[in-house]
């Protein structure tokens, strides 16, 4: 259980405190009121239709002025102090979600034009939120306690459900960029949630493949579920198996480090997970991040991307929640850059083998405090649990 307290910032943006445990901390106006003289929020940026690829592109020139790697005493997502009136008015917190002051999408919500062509533009409707994982300025998600990670899972689920109900929203995407090599603009451990007014190109491609497979099985099987079953039966790329989740390096991994974390039953999004599944997710996700960081002497940059079912009547029935955890790190001192083949053609060339990466991740010894019976490195690989939807 998680305590939840909602409030607003000085410019009207929504902010929500998520507290570890069932009871929210006592919060008074004296400790949660934002006293900063903030300017009024601007209008949304713009989306433009790319007729060549049948895709929408957001134009957000106002983001050039956003905060970039400030010193610790000026961090905008540390708790407020007399010398640093930050985005979070309280002097302490567990997890906080708030609307981004420099959003790529929003703050207004609505629908993009339904029949776009060359030259079509529209407001960049949507919502962009920041998820602060901890009041501590240093560290990373992998250093959180399991209880705190569980609170973050609850925040993701809560926001997924709320954002999915906003007018015009077609896809909700929680993610984390970790590390300067990925391009983060704040050192403080945090993630983001984007609520798009369109289905993104990657989700469209995944959704189309999933729907084709689903229709080919007369709606009896899902593509992601069948891939999970195949990977578990093969075993060579498995990283861990739990009661409700399993993780593996995919057969055709694009990135030097790539791990997919998949629930054993088909659910569309994080909001649809049961309490038991959310409990295990907090554990196995921490385990994966610790394994990733243990591969090299220094922390590994990564993108943690939660693929949730689009809010689309055609794609949603065949879609299946899963995490894609990727890193461009191909050696202790080398990164993979997306150059000609990848950036221009979308044709990836991987510098590692998925089997060797999985073997290295399995071999990592995670500290004993992080272990529980909920998840283990794969022992004998068995069938999916009874009732799992493949």
β-strand partners of 8? 14
| 128 known member of a binding site | no
Q: Which of 158, 187, 190, 322 is catalytic?
A: 190
CA 159/CA 164 separation, integer angstroms? 8
Q: Which of 100, 248, 80 is nearest to 185 (CA)?
A: 100
At residue 359, the 3 state secondary structure works out as helix
Told to judge if 371 belongs to the known catalytic residues of this protein, a careful annotator would answer no
Half-sphere exposure at residue 110, Cβ-oriented, CA atoms within 13 angstroms: 15
Distance CA 244, CA 231 (A): 15
Handedness of CA 77, 78, 79, 81 (dihedral sign): negative
Q: Radius of gyration (Cα) for the chain, nearest Å?
A: 21
How would DSSP label each residue in 112-172?
A: --SS--TT-EEE--SEEEEEE--S-SS--GGGS-HHHHHHHHHHHHHHHHHHHTSTT--EE
Is 307 annotated to bind a ligand? Reply is: no
C-alpha span between 338 and 324 (Å, rounded): 18
φ, ψ (nearest 5 deg) of residue 5: -135, 125
Q: Is 283 assigned to a binding site?
A: no
Binding residues for Zn(2+): 75, 78, 137, 188
Which positions are annotated as active-site residues? 190
């Amino acid at each position: 259980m998680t305590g939840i307290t909602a409030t607003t910032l000085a410019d009207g943006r929504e902010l929500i405190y998520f507290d570890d445990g069932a009871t929210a901390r006592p919060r008074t106006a004296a400790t949660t009121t934002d006293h900063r003289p903030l300017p009024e929020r601007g209008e949304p940026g713009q989306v433009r239709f790319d007729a060549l690829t049948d895709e929408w592109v957001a134009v957000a020139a106002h983001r050039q002025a956003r905060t970039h790697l400030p010193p610790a005493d000026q961090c905008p997502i540390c708790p407020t102090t007399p010398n640093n009136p930050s985005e979070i008015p309280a002097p302490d917190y567990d997890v906080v979600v708030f609307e981004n002051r420099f959003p790529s999408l929003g703050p207004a919500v609505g629908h993009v034009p339904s029949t776009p062509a060359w030259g079509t533009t529209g407001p960049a409707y949507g919502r962009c939120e920041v998820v602060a994982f901890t009041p501590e300025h240093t560290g990373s998600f992998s250093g959180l306690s399991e209880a705190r990670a569980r609170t973050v899972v609850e925040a993701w689920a809560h926001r997924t459900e709320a954002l999915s109900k906003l007018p015009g929203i077609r896809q909700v995407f929680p993610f984390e960029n970790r590390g300067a090599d990925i391009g983060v603009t704040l050192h403080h451990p945090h993630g983001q949630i984007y609520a798009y007014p369109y289905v993104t190109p990657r989700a469209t491609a995944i959704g189309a493949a999933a729907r084709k497979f689903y229709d080919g099985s007369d709606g009896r099987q899902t593509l992601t579920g069948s891939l999970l079953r195949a990977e578990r039966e093969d075993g060579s790329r498995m990283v861990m198996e739990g009661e409700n989740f399993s993780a593996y390096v995919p057969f055709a991994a694009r990135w030097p480090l790539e791990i997919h974390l998949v629930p054993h039953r088909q659910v569309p999004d994080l909001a649809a997970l049961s309490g038991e599944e959310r409990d295990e997710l907090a554990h196995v996700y921490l385990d994966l991040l610790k394994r990733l960081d243990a591969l090299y002497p220094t922390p590994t940059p990564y993108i943690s991307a939660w693929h949730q079912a689009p809010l689309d009547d055609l794609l949603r029935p065949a879609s299946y929640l899963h995490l894609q955890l990727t890193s461009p790190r191909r050696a202790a001192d080398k990164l993979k850059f997306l150059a000609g083949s990848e950036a221009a053609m979308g044709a990836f060339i991987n510098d590692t083998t998925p089997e060797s990466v999985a073997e290295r991740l399995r071999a990592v010894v995670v500290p004993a405090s992080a272990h529980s019976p909920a998840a283990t490195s794969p022992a004998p690989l068995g069938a999916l649990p009874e009732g799992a939807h493949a």
